[in-house]
Amino acid sequence: MSSSFIKAQKRIAIGLSGGVDSAVAAYFLKKEGHEIIAIFMQNWDDYLGGQPTNICSQTQDWDDAQAIAHQLDIPIYKVDLKKGITPNPDILCNSVIKFHYFTEHVKKEFATDFIATGHYAKIVQEGKEYYLSKPKDNSKDQTYFLCQIDRNLLDKILFPLANSTKKEIRQIAEKAGLINAQKKDSTGICFIGERKFEGFLTNYFPKKKGEVIDVDDKKVIGEHFGTPFFTIGQRRSLGLHGQKKPHYVVGKNIKKNLIYVASGWDNNNQNITAKFRYRQPEIPVKITPLTDFKELKVEFSEKQRAITPGQYAVFYQDNICLGGGVIFNTERNKENSEPNI
């Protein structure tokens, strides 16, 4: 959600990267009268194997973040995530590290009400439910990278830039006299460069046993080893035995360490679109669950090129981001040469 939803003064942790977007997000929150704490997340060593990384300069970003915090008169803390292995995909970093760890760690350490970042995305509320949605500036829409954020976290996340364009943010930074108003945008969406992925999760999240609950009959049907290790839509490696039908993950309760699963699939394919690259226009798709319910078949309505296994397909219904999954195989429609995944 944007900070405009908050009527009373709150204690908010802002992820301050050193860039102009997070700086203006902090500026917005400060101007609204909230108590702001800046958090800089350090995710990897500047030197790996004796060689300096070429991904970005954490040292410069940290210096810039401190300067902005000083200018806005807010305290800043460095959260050190350097623990040997960090994730490669920006999507996983955003969903697992930047929001799961950030939310839990910061709330515990600093007793905050919300966390905020400078992402271009929006959270909308419908009744008691919260959904990830596109921002005002469609050209900067970052929901593609945020598609796997646990929905249970959305009511505690703020995107202050949701209703602003990049051009407006630059102008606001200039008018406010922010020292990094003209700082060049980073080339990546995340704080992370290319690193080996194997073993990453266990480095950051200790395994913790919890219950697997069937949402249809509310019964416990299995045991898992920690909510961070599972993603919405996952069908493999759930550790369920004695079940007649395959199940898939439909929800998680991080606080109670619960995984919710279902054995059916509700999809009427109404106005569903998808894209498999950042900045790619969305196109209509048809989604069909395969017979074993372990994966989905996605048929594009238009010819697509260079779809690569390992990429993410992210799905939308109007402005709402429904989620996403990893592409593991592609095939071509024999009738019209359109690819399916």
CATH of residue 167: 3.40.50.620
- What is the rounded radius of gyration, in angstroms, for the C-alpha atoms of the chain? 21
Whether 131 and 234 share a structural domain: no
Give pLDDT, residue 240. 81
How far apart CA 134 and CA 318 sit, in angstroms, is 9
267 domain-assigned: no
Residue 248 has pLDDT above 70, yes or no: yes
Amino acid at 94: N
Both tokens assigned to 115: 């966390």
The answer to whether the beta carbons of residues 336 and 329 sit under 8 Å apart is no
**Exactly one of 56, 147, 190, 321 is catalytic; which is it?**
190
Sheet holding 35-42, edge to edge: 76-80, 35-42, 11-15, 114-116, 157-158
Whether 20 and 143 share a structural domain: yes
23 domain-assigned: yes
- Helix ranges (DSSP H) in 32-181: 58-72, 90-92, 102-110, 166-176
Q: Give the sign of the dihedral formed by CA 266, CA 340, CA 321, CA 193.
A: positive
Q: Is 190 a catalytic residue?
A: yes
Look at 308 and 281; give whichever has higher pLDDT.
Answer: 281
The answer to whether the beta carbons of residues 314 and 323 sit under 8 Å apart is yes
Residue 163 belongs to domain spanning? 3-176
Whether 103 and 229 share a structural domain: no
How far apart CA 167 and CA 148 sit, in angstroms, is 28
Give mean pLDDT, residues 190-217.
Answer: 61
Give pLDDT, residue 168. 97
Count CB neighbours of 104 within 10 A: 16
Whether 258 and 278 share a structural domain: no
* Structural domain count, the chain: 3
**Exactly one of 56, 93, 147, 321 is catalytic; which is it?**
93
Task: Using the 3D structure, point to which of 228, 244, 262 is the last residue of a domain.
Answer: 262
Whether 100 and 11 share a structural domain: yes
Whether 212 and 277 share a structural domain: no
Residue 196 has pLDDT above 60, yes or no: no
- Whole-number average pLDDT of the chain: 76
The answer to whether the beta carbons of residues 67 and 216 sit under 8 Å apart is no
Whether 100 and 223 share a structural domain: no
At 171, is the pLDDT very low, low, confident or very high (cuts 50, 70, 90)?
Answer: very high
Whether 143 and 15 share a structural domain: yes
Give mean pLDDT, residues 176-204.
Answer: 60
Whether 44 and 145 share a structural domain: yes
Whether 8 and 75 share a structural domain: yes
